[in-house]
Each structure stands twice: as C-alpha cells, then as structure tokens.
Chains A and B, each alone.
Chain A
Amino acid sequence: MSETVETPHPLEQLPGDLMMWVLIVSELLVFGAGLAAFLAVRIGDPAGFAAAQDHLHRAAAGLNTVVLVTSGLLAALAVRAREADKRLRTRCLLAGASVLGLVFLVIKGMEYADKAAAGIGVETHPFFTFYYLLTGFHAAHVLAGVIILGLVGWKDSPRSVEVGAAFWHMVDLVWVLLFPVIYLLR
C-alpha cells in the first residue's frame, strides 16, 4: 500500500501573515524604485555624486547597520521565544530590539544635525535630495517599527509577535540595500 505525501500549497508555505508579505513586497518596490532612480540620476553626474557622498559619515552608517542587524536578530529570537511560550523572554528581546531601533534613530539624528550645521539641505545637490528622501522615509519606518514592536510586546500573541518582527525585518532588509547604494558606492 502506497502512502501519498501531500505537499502544502505555496501560499500555505509562506511564513507568517500573507498581508504582511504584501506590505513587505510593496515597501521593497517603493524603496527599490527610489534606489534605482538614485543610480539613474547619478549617471548624469557621477563626479558630483561622489563629491557629495564624501560629506557622509560612512563609519557611523556602518555602525548603524550593525545596530539594525543586531536588532533584527533580537526580533527573530523573540519570535522563537514566543513559539516556546517564554513570554518574559519574548518581551525582553522585543524591548532590546526597540532600544536598538532608538539607537539607530539617535545616530541618524546626529547625522542629520551634522549635515544641517554644514549647511547641507535637500536642495544642495540631487544626491542630497535622494539622501534625505530615502533615509528619511526609512527612518520613519524605523520609528513605526519601534512603536509596532512595543505594541506586540504588550499584546504578545504568537501571531502578533511574528507579524511585528516581520515588519522589523523588512526595515532591516531595506537598510542593507540602501546603505551600500547611498553611502558606499563611488
């Protein structure tokens, strides 16, 4: 007698909430289009973009990458902890992820203050128009993510924690693409 093993439908394989994935894909499309537009505009003035980029603090942005990636780890560990019904550990991990999100925003705020003090604004150069637009929009997502992590830490059902962490990983994912394109590519 042969046994048939049913493979789940692809939609059932998708981890977490389908609507969260719709949000993740739509956010990736928005940021993806922004980064592609940035490189397309750079074609007309690569030297000007390189000179403008020299005003950025690459090491601080690199540190922020470490902060965000570590925050993502804590959020992912929180999902595992909630699945294991370790609620206190879940909340501590989510709090840690939120604090690192705030550290990211503080470093970003210092970066903006530094630019403002140097008289660099949105209209200084097209590079900075994209810089403020893309990093500012991303920072708004980080702030939203910190609030969401706080909410799912409070209402900590396994599904809420998984969805909140997925949003946070999307923020993480956008940054690992945005950071090299804006800060590192010469």
Chain B
Amino acid sequence: MLRNPLLRAWGLLIGLCLASTLVALAVERTSFAGLAATGAGATILLLAWLKARIILSEYLGLAAAPFWRRGFEIVLALYALLLLGLYTIPVL
C-alpha cells in the first residue's frame, strides 16, 4: 500500500483512466448497442466523477477543508447527473 496520499491518489487516477478507456474500447470493438452502450456511457461518466473528486480532494487539498469538499462534491455530483441526463436523452 502507498502511504503517501498523493501517490495513492495518483495510482487511483491512473487506474480509473485505464478503466474508462477500456470500457470505451470495449464498446467500440463489440456491438454494444441500446441499453448496454448507455450503461457503458454511464459507467464512463461515473469514473470521470470519481477522478474529479480525487483531484479536488487530494491534489487541490480540499481533504483538509471538509466544508468546501462537501460543497464541491455536491455541485460536481449534480453536474455529473446533468451530463448523464443529456447523454441518455437520445435513447429514451
């Protein structure tokens, strides 16, 4: 386990980047369509939200400011939901 929180955050970010790219490549190379493709898209947005949270919390230091971290996380979650809504409208 990495003891330095910055190195741990970096490792998580790299893992999440790889995961989202792999999901996108899987969609591209298989015949994902309809709900399966939308589920993959929602997963990619979820991973993006997690990455943004890590950068705010660890790189930008909001982990030490719980009031601001909560505020940013709420706004970020609402924004991710907006993106998810706009993304899923064409398949409804």
Which residues of A pack against B, CB within 8 Å?
Answer: 10, 13-16, 24, 32, 35-36, 39-40, 42-43, 46, 54, 58-59, 62, 65-66, 69-70, 72-73, 75-77, 80, 166, 169-170, 172-173, 176-177, 179-181, 183-186
Contact = CB atoms under 8 A, between A and B. Distances in A.
A169 B20 CA distance: 20
25 contacts: A10-B65, A13-B68, A14-B68, A15-B64, A16-B61, A42-B90, A43-B89, A54-B28, A58-B21, A58-B24, A62-B17, A62-B18, A66-B14, A72-B59, A73-B6, A76-B58, A169-B55, A169-B59, A173-B55, A176-B52, A177-B52, A179-B48, A180-B24, A184-B20, A186-B37
Given A24-B60, A76-B58, 7 more contacts: A15-B65, A16-B60, A76-B6, A173-B52, A176-B51, A185-B41, A186-B41
Nearest to B21: A62
A76 B47 CA distance: 22
For the complex, would chain A's binding face be called helix, strand, loop or mixed by DSSP majority? helix
B74 interface: no
A32 B79 CA distance: 8
A153 B16 CA distance: 30
A184 B24 contact: yes
Given A43-B90, A69-B13, A186-B27, A36 B6 contact: no
Contacts of B23: 184
A166 B59 CA distance: 8
